[in-house]
Amino acid sequence: MGEGRVALVTGARGMLGTDLCPVLSEAGWRVIGADLGEFDITDAAAAREFVSGCRPSVIINCAAYTAVDKAETEYHTAFRVNHRGARNMAEAAAAVGAALVQISTDYVFDGSKEGAYTEDDPPNPVNAYGLSKWLGELAVRVTLEEHYIVRTSWLHGLHGKSFPRTMLTLAQPYPGKDVKPLRVVSDQVGAPTYTVHLARALAVIISKPCYGTYHAVNRGCCSWYEFACEVFRAAGLAPEIIPIPSSEYPTPAPRPRNSLLDTSKLARVYGHQLPPWQEGAAEFVGLWRESH
């Protein structure tokens, strides 16, 4: 690995990257944050040049195409970022002897399993976004031995678009606007994961070279409907919420019904567990209220 404790974070101005950089700094890393203004991960030569210049000991690739529904038609862009970009970062890491953390998703699974998915379960994406992330995982695995694949789910944070932000915005009354009943899907389950909690888990993961694939999500599970109810409870709001099946809320990209990820490997290898998802929701709501 490269000299010193230097961490390069790509997508540093995104939802996860914005929270990850200060967490890594607090953990003693010298952090270099990079986004499109510095280099484009889909440009292999630019990626290698930038990485060669800063010579990190670890790269955390938070840069991603995350528009799940748009990926069904913008699949060339999704695959260029999530697949080719991941491969480029792995090649750049290999060139300087750095490790790479590739952030991945529950959407690599089809959701048909009963119970939580382990790291050893075979992926079977049901949408273009999930396939692009799965191919990104494969590219990293075949390119670089010193890698961590970290899958997470239902990510939300203060610095980007997310489900709780959308719910709170829809529930806020203002002059000339009527708050309509909110119809929220109740037959898809997963673990809402707060970016700050995931960032702390990533700091733990890169603290020792136990390379491989890990699931990192907040503890517990819920449906999107239950997630919305908890967000409103934490915010002291009481809009009318109607639980509906997925069939009544069709989207361009199909979603897995079951997004539960088993995190026992993270606990076994690192002795680390993320807090319950309700704590993440409460912290998000508190910060959101301060900013509004």
Give the start-to-end residue ranges of the domains of the chain.
Answer: 6-158+191-221+259-276
The answer, yes or no, to whether residue 250 has pLDDT greater than 70, is: yes
DSSP codes, 52-86: HHH--SEEEE------TTGGGT-HHHHHIIIIIHH
Residue 1 predicted with pLDDT over 50: no
For the entire predicted model, the pTM comes to 0.96
- Pairing outcome for strands 182-185 and 241-244: parallel
* Amino acid letter, residue 61: N
Span 10-37, pLDDT tens digits: 999 999 999 999 999 999 999 999 999 9
**Residue ranges with strand state E in the chain:** 6-10, 30-34, 58-61, 99-105, 147-152, 155-156, 182-185, 189-190, 193-194, 212-215, 222-223, 241-244
Residue 70: the pLDDT is 97
- Per-residue pLDDT, 291: 82
Check if 117 is active-site: no
Q: What is the mean pLDDT of the chain?
A: 95
Distance CA 35, CA 197 (A): 22
3-state secondary structure of 221: coil
Check: CB of residue 255 under 8 Å from CB of residue 127.
yes
Q: What are the pLDDT digits (tens) for 210-243?
A: 999 999 999 999 999 999 999 999 999 999 999 9
Q: pLDDT tens-digit profile of 141-192?
A: 999 999 999 999 999 999 999 999 999 999 886 655 667 899 999 999 999 9
According to CATH, the superfamily of the domain at 6-158+191-221+259-276 is NAD(P)-binding Rossmann-like Domain (3.40.50.720)
The stretch 60-68 carries a mean pLDDT of 97
Closest to 39 (Cα-Cα) out of 53, 56, 58, 57: 53
Give the active site residue among 107, 129, 148, 214. 129
Distance between CA atoms of residues 277 and 222, nearest Å:
9
Q: What is the pLDDT of residue 33?
A: 97
Mean pLDDT of 266-275: 98
Residue 4: per-residue pLDDT: 65
More confident residue, 93 or 3: 93
Mean pLDDT of 251-278: 98
Question: What pLDDT sits at residue 118?
Answer: 98
Residue 2 is predicted with a pLDDT of 38
